[in-house]
Each structure stands twice: as structure tokens, then as C-alpha cells.
Amino acid sequence: KEGEIFLDPSGRANGRGAYICKDSECLKKAIKTKALNRAFKVEVSDEVYEKLLTELEAYDK
């Protein structure tokens, strides 16, 4: 969807993407360094980062 940031475990969603390994520690590092802000050239809100972290931790289980 236009302007939406979400996890795509299949890696097949249309649109621009950024790769982060399937480890919550990788995402935590990306949050700390604001890597997704740079990758997508937009300001990613803390709520979006928290949603991604919650989803990724659910996949880890």
C-alpha cells in the first residue's frame, strides 16, 4: 500500500523495500540508527518502529 511500512516475510510485496534480517536485534539496531528513515527517505514514527518490532518478535516465536 502506498506510504505504508510493514514486514513482508515473503519478500514479494510490490513497491520499495528495505532488508532487515529476521532477528529482533537487527531491527533494534535499525531503530537506534534510524536506518529505515534513511532507506525510505521519510521520517518513520516511533509507533511504526514499535509495530514492526512487535510483529517481528511474533515471527521469532
DSSP calls for 4-58: -----TTS--SS------S-HHHHHHHHHHTHHHHHHTS---HHHHHHHHHHHHH
* pLDDT for residue 15: 86
Q: Is 32 within a domain? A: yes
Q: Is 54 within a domain? A: yes
Q: Is 16 within a domain? A: no
Handedness of CA 10, 15, 6, 20 (dihedral sign): positive
Q: Give me the domain span that covers residue 41.
A: 24-60
Q: Is 19 within a domain? A: no
Q: Is 55 within a domain? A: yes
Tell me the mean pLDDT per 10 residues along the chain, length 61: 84 88 91 94 94 88 65
Q: Is 34 within a domain? A: yes
| Total domains, the chain | 1
